[in-house]
Structure 1
């Protein structure tokens, strides 16, 4: 999984992990075209956290993204009550941006290298008793109606999937979630999650 590939990017102020789902409202023409092409060809695009600029195009501004993101594919779409196109995407595998540039329509394109870890289908890592409390916490988080409505599936006996879901769902800043995404070691990610969780419990988050 080390070869490079050219993909389109969908910059957001959110961080997506493999197996996670994210609802999007689409109205800019560059993204309507991207969604249409993705549906026709059954391909995906990269979700990256913005480091500069807004989610929508504004005159005189540019979008810059963090260099680690997640390749996502569309799993559902519909017209929303407000008339906009709504799509739900699911994360598949992590990548690192090598080069990034805008097309004439301002759609960001990137040459990416697939990460050696953090992709759907990896061999599960057995969850030890010392982390069962995290599995119970994740059960509670995934029972929230907004999360439950996304239809995500997660193996709570797999430490890797547990870390992915907790990293997405904990009430911490996107910068912390991005830092967790950039880690390649599941045990290190779990340790960082427990540190963040302790801060949330002590100070109520930030």
Structure 2
């Protein structure tokens, strides 16, 4: 891969070290903060910091699978470490910036690392690294359902800030921060493009709003 992505990275690694995390969603231009304390993933961070600084975030198929190396979904998102610090307790605090989704072609069966690595194919998601163009999103519909959902949850939003975000930043950021289930987050990750992700986001927020309203009625 030689195209330059939004983070300025010129090359995405064909062999990608992965960090499996239930409920974690990373999308292009989004930022995901992580506390890293497990030895194998501390090894991963140290290794990538010496090179491309890219990690693949991917979910186990079964949420919170206790297996040491659980089965994984076939699609994840590659992110570049844009912030790194070591806490006095010894854990690493990092922030990943989403670059591009990937599809797992195969897992490296024989490796010398404690952490897992996969052969990653980015070609299907080349458009992730291009400015959002073409079909727009229905901002009015999104804002209406988001406003009602936040009212039910007694939360507030910075509407001025949200209204100034580009379509892809807005949809990807909301997809990452809203409290969806692991399966719903995977569906948002796998949405073909930003307009499709927007439609799914509206549907999911509507269902959550209806469920929240029902729960409050029954209380």
Q: TM-score range by the shorter chain?
A: 0.7 to 0.9
Which structure is higher in strand share?
Answer: 1
Q: CA separation in 2, counterparts of 1:171 and 1:162?
A: 16
Aligned pair partner of 2:205 in 189, 197, 200: 197
Cα distance per residue 1:37-90 (max 9 Å; x no partner): 2222243021101224858xx7x7422211111101111112235431111111
Secondary structure at 1:172 match in 2: coil
Q: Is the Cα contact below 8 Å between 1:69 and 1:96 reproduced in 2?
A: yes
Deviation at 1:176, TM superposition (A): 0.2
Question: Aligned pairs, how many?
Answer: 193
Q: Which segments of 5 or more consecutive residues in structure 1 lack a partner in the other structure?
A: 144-152
Q: Is the Cα contact below 8 Å between 1:127 and 1:157 reproduced in 2?
A: no
RMSD: 3.4
Name which of structure 1's ranges 167-176 and 25-34 shifts more when overlaid on structure 2: 25-34
Cα 1:135–1:75, aligned 2, differ >3 Å: closer, same or farther?
A: farther
The question of 1:86 aligning with 2:96 is answered: no
Q: CA separation in 2, counterparts of 1:157 and 1:105?
A: 40
Name which of structure 1's ranges 68-77 and 34-43 shifts more when overlaid on structure 2: 34-43
Aligned to 2:56: 46
Cα 1:180–1:118, aligned 2, differ >3 Å: closer, same or farther?
A: farther
Q: State the TM-score, normalized to the length of structure 2.
A: 0.72
Q: Is the Cα contact below 8 Å between 2:13 and 2:52 reproduced in 1?
A: no
Question: Whose Rg is larger?
Answer: 2
Q: Is the Cα contact below 8 Å between 1:21 and 1:89 reproduced in 2?
A: yes
